[in-house]
Chains A and B, each alone.
Chain A
């Protein structure tokens, strides 16, 4: 009675053709899996293929080698089980906040029913924006816009939430606040989360497990199980083990691979 993992990569290769026609080897022999309702962060240098990895899970591109599967099924096209939060909020300025949250319904099915609106309001409440439903997008701060993006990604109640450096465009204070917000949201609505980030503290604070990637072509250099008890708080940040792990990861990120 083995339930298949939520996300599984098996020897995935990804080769792009660059503008000059030369092949770009983005991902190489990438193998990992994420269990249902697990929170996994991916850390790695810029250009190592993190966004590519996420697009593969989303079914937006197909791997050039190996296989990607979701709940045991190979990914062939985008699926409803997945919600995506992008680096920039990428909201639609011609819609109000609530209409941005219900956008997946309008876009996928061509109409929004009152129960969808009710659900959107509930989600806005969850991300702390209950009073902003009828505001215009440009009336919101960057952090608030990203919360709307999270609410939108949750509208179709996906099992898997993909987040591509969602807080990297925010200032440091807002970023910390958003991290704790995300922890709270994840506790209220357990999801499988694949969280791509540049921030070692964010990864340590949020995740059950961290995948550290190598430079391009990206593969998993190390897998780190994060030992801290939940719920995690500001105290977690002060734990000596937190500092030790952060240093360890930093060293892993910056050291060159032993053999090329």
Chain B
């Protein structure tokens, strides 16, 4: 009996270790990767302007005052967020229009395709010249980059609503407004959320691209400024903050979806 008892406890102990390992595998892999990076820069004495060691990036990052960082981060985040929210505020109603009106679809879709086919990065300098200094041109550039996936996904979702549900709505003579608000839009939520997640990254890209073109603040500005003075480790530190910012926005949208529309997630992610 004692034998059996021992065996079950060791089994569960082993399982526990395995489970812990499984849980921390991503973090572990990350730490190992950073370690390898650090070691190889030292072993092969890679110059810091080619690939700075993680320790050097951290040190140079700390050399910049916290308030300076905060200013740059805030500038980029502000532009990314405003452009993103604007894209949602305009993109979703527009998608409703495109899904409900053949006329709108026929007139606006070609224009949308043209906007999407235009490399926004190439247009950015023109937009900056046209719209002048300040946040406005940067917000417009961010908006243009994030807007298209939101419109396309939302329209697709609105049109994917099962025909029977639409017939149910029509049989109740509920009207177009309720059909959209109570049936089509909720049904499109999984599509909308996947576009919103992709667009967070695009929003940060948009803000940074705009800052490359013209800005005196922001992480994009900071990176291009640092590289022009060959402060490569410092530029890398700026990049780290950009990655964190992107991930934070992405996670926030994921959290909101889980909190307010768990049914719109695949079963294993609820």
A-side contacts of B169, CB under 8 Å: 107
Q: Which residue of B lies closest to A54 (CB)?
A: B167
Residue from B167, B174, B186, B267 within 8 A of A92 (CB atoms):
B186
A135 to chain B, nearest CB (A): 12
30 residue pairs of the A-B complex, CB under 8 angstroms, read A55-B167, A58-B167, A58-B171, A60-B167, A60-B170, A77-B173, A78-B171, A82-B171, A84-B167, A84-B171, A86-B167, A86-B168, A88-B162, A88-B164, A90-B162, A92-B183, A92-B186, A94-B186, A94-B261, A94-B263, A106-B182, A107-B169, A107-B172, A107-B182, A107-B183, A108-B172, A108-B173, A108-B174, A138-B263, A138-B267
| Ranked 3 nearest A-B pairs via Cβ | A90-B164, A78-B171, A86-B164
Q: Does A21 interact with chain B (Cβ within 8 Å)?
A: no
CA distance A92 to B170 in the complex (A): 16
List B247-270 residues whose CB lies under 8 Å from chain A.
261, 263-264, 267
Task: Please name 10 further chain A to chain B contacts, defined as beta carbons within 8 Å, in addition to the given A86-B168, A88-B164, A107-B183, sorted by A numbering.
Answer: A55-B167, A58-B167, A58-B171, A59-B171, A78-B172, A78-B173, A82-B171, A90-B165, A94-B264, A110-B178
CA distance A252 to B164 in the complex (A): 30
Q: Which residue of A lies closest to B178 (CB)?
A: A107
Looking across the interface, which residue of chain A has its beta carbon closest to that of B263? A93
Q: Determine whether A117 belongs to the interface, using a CB cutoff of 8 Å to chain B.
A: no
Q: How far is the CB of A145 from chain B (nearest CB, A)?
A: 13
For the complex formed, measure the closest distance between the CB of B202 and the CB atoms of chain A, giving whole angstroms. Answer: 27
Find chain A residues with CB under 8 A from B164 CB. Answer: 86-88, 90
Nearest B residue to A88, CB-CB: B164
Mark A57-96 against chain B: 1 for CB-CB distance below 8 A, else 0.
0111000000000000000011000101011101011100
Which of B168, B183, B263, B264 interacts with A84 by CB under 8 Å?
B168
A33 to B172, CA, bound (A): 24
- Residues of chain B at the chain A interface (Cβ within 8 Å): 162, 164-165, 167-174, 178, 182-183, 186, 189, 261, 263-264, 267
Residues of chain A lying within 8 A (CB to CB) of residue B186 = 92, 94
Determine the distance from Cα of A58 to Cα of B167 in the docked complex, in whole angstroms: 9
- With A88-B162, A92-B186, A110-B178: A104-B167 Cβ-Cβ less than 8 Å: no
Distance in Å: Cβ of A42 to nearest Cβ of chain B: 18
Which residues of B lie under 8 Å from residue A55 when comparing CB positions?
167
Also in contact, A60 and B263, with CB within 8 A (given A90-B164, A92-B186, A110-B178): no
Q: Which residues of A contact B162 (CB under 8 A)?
A: 88, 90
The SS class assigned to the B binding surface is: helix
Which of B170, B172, B173, B189 has the largest count of A CB atoms less than 10 A from its CB? B172
* A136 contacts chain B at the CB level, 8 A cutoff: yes
Inter-chain contacts of A59 with B (CB < 8 A): 171
Among A59, A86, A87, the one with the most B-chain Cβ atoms within 10 Å of its Cβ is A86
A108 to B173, alpha carbons, bound, how many Å?
7
Counting chain A CB atoms within 10 Å of each CB, the highest count among B171, B172, B186 belongs to B171
Known: A84-B167, A92-B183. A104 touches B263 (CB 8 A): no
Quote the shortest CB–CB distance from A151 to chain B (angstroms).
14
Cα distance A102–B189 when bound, in Å?
22
Please, which residues of chain B bring their CB within 8 A of the CB of A106? 182
Taken together as a complex, chains A and B put the C-alpha atoms of A55 and B171 apart, in Å, by 10
A88 CA / B186 CA spacing, docked (Å): 19
Q: How far is the CB of A74 from chain B (nearest CB, A)?
A: 17
Residues of A within 8 A of B264 (CB): 94
The interface residues of chain A lying within 8 Å CB-to-CB of B173 are 77-78, 108
Q: How far is the CA of A141 from the CA of B190 in the complex (A)?
A: 22
Across the interface, which residues of B come within 8 angstroms of A110, CB to CB? 178
Instruction: List residues of chain B with CB within 8 A of the CB of A92.
Output: 165, 183, 186
Kindly report which residue of chain B lies nearest to residue A105, judged by CB atoms.
Answer: B172
Question: Which A residues are CB-close (under 8 A) to B263?
Answer: 93-94, 136, 138
Q: Return A83 CB to nearest CB of chain B, in Å.
A: 8
Among A84, A86, A90, A107, the one with the most B-chain Cβ atoms within 10 Å of its Cβ is: A107
User: Which of chain B's residues have a CB closer than 8 A to the CB of A77?
Assistant: 173
A70 to B261, CA, bound (A): 41
Q: Which of B165, B167, B169, B263 has the most CB of A within 10 A?
A: B167
CB distance from B61 to the nearest CB of A (A): 44
Q: Which B residue's beta carbon lies closest to that of A59?
A: B171
Q: How far is the CA of A84 from the CA of B165 in the complex (A)?
A: 11
Shortest beta-carbon distance from A92 to chain B in Å? 7
